Amino acid sequence: MLSVRELHSGYGRVPVLRGVDLEVRAGELVLLLGPNGAGKTTMLRTMAGFISPQSGTIALDGEEVGGRKPEVVARRGLRLVLEGHRVFPELTVADNLRLGQLALRDRDSYAQRLDAIREIFPVLDQKIGAHAKDLSGGQQQILALAQGFVGDPKALLCDEPSFGIAQSLVPSILRFLRGLADQGVAVVVVEQLAESALQVADRVVVLRRGSVVAEGPAREFEGEGRLKSLFLAS
């Protein structure tokens, strides 16, 4: 579903990613790990069209999307949920969700997907008429994820979903992402709470200094010692 080959990307003349390859199948949840500065967020933003690749290819469901504008990539079915609760604060929850459907490939499915969101996350149903700025940080993060979901993505990229939210909400968010993958979505997650995220991941890819240094089934990365060795290695 999502194929990245020999991707080089960065900011101006500053290289960040150096020849990265990534394959994500439909129905698979891939956990992208690495120390700070490894290039994880740059990877997601480049795939979603917010950064133009310097070279390499990015294909979604067989179609090249590398270098296209974010709105074009979104309409093709690839959605990015950034860390930091990126919602429209002055709009209501309902209006934020309506904006999420702008890239929806099948508009007739919006009502059905909205009903599913309200069932999965009852807090959004309870706050449907509230302004996003009046939600807690965790509720805003859930709203950002819901925006991605109502857009009926083929692939969803999620950057640090646990950032700045109550730890009690993390399991439900990770289960939600796992559920998306089980429905056939290709999911890529960057997550600081690696031990928790490993429980819902199929596969792990580790970046360091802009290159892939390890990858394999999630079960091979379980255990604090294994993760520490990957994060602390020079």
Q: Which domains does the chain have, with CATH numbers?
A: 2-86+153-232 (3.40.50.300)
pTM of the model: 0.86
The C-alpha atoms of residue 168 and residue 93 are separated, in whole angstroms, by 21
pLDDT at residue number 229: 67
The C-alpha atoms of residue 162 and residue 195 are separated, in whole angstroms, by 12
pLDDT at residue number 233: 54
Report the share of the chain in percent with pLDDT over 90: 43
What is the tens place of the pLDDT at every residue in 160-213?
888 877 788 788 888 889 988 998 999 999 988 888 899 999 999 999 999 999
The C-alpha atoms of residue 66 and residue 9 are separated, in whole angstroms, by 11
Q: Count other C-beta atoms under 10 Å from residue 38's C-beta.
A: 23
Cα-to-chain-centroid distance, residue 137 = 17
The C-alpha atoms of residue 97 and residue 149 are separated, in whole angstroms, by 9
pLDDT below 50 — which residues of the chain?
234
